[in-house]
A and B are shown apart, each in its own frame.
Chain A
Amino acid sequence: MGLAISFWMLAAVAIIAALGVVLLRNVFRAALSLILCFLTVAGLYITLSADFLAAVQILVYVGAISVLIILAIMMTREVQQGSPNSRFQIPAFIIAILFLEVLVLTLINTPWPVSGITPTAPTTAALANSLFGEGGYLLPVEIAAVLLLSATLGAIVLAREK
């Protein structure tokens, strides 16, 4: 009961916020509405008993990514009131439609099974075991870290003045 109510409230706010991101002319307000969307997604994770994921969602998406988006908006001139006209409008529209089609097809063709297993109560230990434990995802985690490091180094090299 409580879960269902919170789910529908969060879902409604998330969709309204996501629409706000696309429809608002003011880019800064669009970014703020993106933050609201991220927060509601974190709320959805909580309703799914994924507390660790929810905290990481807020930490990474609200605390870091959105902040960088807002910083980029602040650094940029003349884009505050909507996107300027560009010749990419029609190609972008076509790609967006194709992407929407892919998403809708996936949504329709996925069975969406509901797991009957009760969620593990302390999620952190279980997560740590499956990430770093034996037979876990240790290698992918390490590779992701190295990938991020190389991306950082690449960004520094690109941005550096000659």
Chain B
Amino acid sequence: MATAGLNIYHLARLQAVSPDWPGGFWWHWLFFTVVIIGFVLTMVMGVIYIERRGMGRMQSRLGPNRTGPFGLLQPVADAVKVLLKENIVPAAADKLVHWLAPVIAFAPALMLFAVIPFENGALLADLNIGILYVIAISSVSTVGIFMAGWGSSNKYSLLGAMRNVAAIVSYEIPMVLAIVGVVLIAGSLSLNDIVVAQNVPFILLQPLGFLLFFAAGCAEINRSPFDLMEADSELVAGFHTEYSGMKFAMFYLVEYAEAVAISAIIATLFLGGWKGPILPPWLWFVVKIILVFFAMVWTRTTLPRIRIDQLMAFAWKFLFPMSLLNMFITALQVLAGWPTELVWVMIIVNIAVMAILVLVWSRFFFRLGGGRVEI
């Protein structure tokens, strides 16, 4: 069975170069579509388990531990539970929009994985605009959240959706500018080429870019501490207040699929993607995704939720100038040829630059409540 799968895989790889039908193209397409769907669903179950158990440990409680060994079957039990639940649609809802919203939100989360390489060249489509595709597609999922907020005709849903737009529009800018640094060093927009270019993981060459991307990415997918749009204490559940049953499960799935996607993108851009010694490349990739996700869980349990004005101020007064500076410094270094010749100098200089910039900026220019860095 494994060899048959491998053969199809190789066949797809060999013939994938001719982008017209019929032929190997469709095998390639079918294979990677099935792989991506399976990968995303499995990873989502995995990260839900990690989040619930990890959060439990970090908050000095147990977390779900009754279903199966170590509570491993809890995501399965949850899935079965939501499948069997009644689907309630509010009487005043815009039925069509309400029904379409989860689908529209889910599609981009899945489409993101089309350009993420699992191994060298093992991806659905090696677009030469890869990372731009990621940014463009991830901006579409906002529309699904909007449709949910509007279609429910519930004021909390609408408020959640409106907070979402403020976050997405603001945080897209530092996110893209943080990516520019990576693209400058790698010299390509294709995610596979970016991984191939990483002899040294770019987190060392772009430490500031990594932090900026991590913060902006968490805000883009509304993870705590930026989860204003579904702030439970203020908005019930935000945009998906009026969703139940399988449609709620879809939103839950989108939330975690996006978290996995952002983790995968961070792993690809900054942590060397599938590169690594001994272990097979795809396993390295999975390990790196889980590491990044664990860092997200960690920040979620550590930091309190920020207010909407703090959210805006953080994007525009902290992340935005920092990402501009980062881009400028990186451009100068690339012009001077540091990434190829003076790699170790560049690593040391950039880590020093990151430390100095973050400390100086948080101390003298921008203070987010008690969130500034104390020395």
A28-B150, A51-B128, A67-B142 known; A58-B136 Cβ under 8 A: yes
Is the CB–CB distance between A62 and B143 below 8 Å? yes
Most central of B20, B149, B150 by chain A CB within 10 Å: B150
State the CA gap A52–B129 with chains docked (Å).
6
Q: Pick the contact of A58 from B127, B139, B165, B168 — CB < 8 Å?
A: B139
Q: Is A41 close to B, CB under 8 A?
A: no
Which parts of B53-77 form the interface with A (CB within 8 Å)? none
Q: Determine how close the nearest CB of chain A comes to the CB of B98; give it in whole angstroms.
A: 12
Q: Pick the contact of B150 from A1, A35, A68, A74 — CB < 8 Å?
A: A74
Q: Is A11 close to B, CB under 8 A?
A: no
28 contacts between A and B (CB under 8 A): A1-B21, A2-B20, A2-B21, A26-B94, A32-B97, A32-B147, A35-B143, A52-B132, A55-B129, A55-B132, A55-B135, A55-B136, A56-B132, A62-B136, A63-B168, A64-B172, A67-B142, A67-B146, A67-B165, A67-B169, A68-B165, A70-B165, A71-B162, A71-B165, A74-B161, A74-B162, A121-B128, A124-B128
Is the CB–CB distance between A59 and B139 below 8 Å? yes
Is the CB–CB distance between A56 and B136 below 8 Å? yes
Q: Is B140 close to A, CB under 8 A?
A: yes
- List residues of A whose CB falls within 8 A of some B CB: 1-2, 26, 28-29, 32, 35, 39, 51-52, 55-56, 58-59, 62-64, 66-68, 70-71, 74, 121-124
Counting chain B residues whose Cβ lies within 8 A of the other chain, the interface size class is 20 to 34
Q: Pick the contact of A66 from B21, B136, B143 — CB < 8 Å?
A: B143
Report B156-186 CB contacts with A as 1/0, cut-off 8 Å: 0010011001001100100000000000000
Chain B residues, Cβ within 8 Å of A62? 136, 139-140, 143
A interface, over-half SS: helix
Chain B residues, Cβ within 8 Å of A123? 128-129
B interface, over-half SS: helix
Query: In the complex, what residue of chain A is closest to B25 when comparing beta carbons?
Result: A2
- List residues of B whose CB falls within 8 A of some A CB: 20-21, 94, 96-97, 127-129, 132-133, 135-137, 139-140, 142-143, 146-147, 149-150, 158, 161-162, 165, 168-169, 172, 189
State the CA gap A113–B146 with chains docked (Å).
41
Known: A51-B128, A68-B165. 16 other contacts (CB 8 A): A28-B94, A29-B96, A32-B97, A51-B127, A52-B129, A55-B135, A58-B140, A59-B132, A59-B136, A63-B136, A63-B139, A67-B165, A68-B169, A70-B165, A71-B162, A74-B150
Query: In the complex, what residue of chain A is closest to B153 when comparing beta carbons?
Result: A80
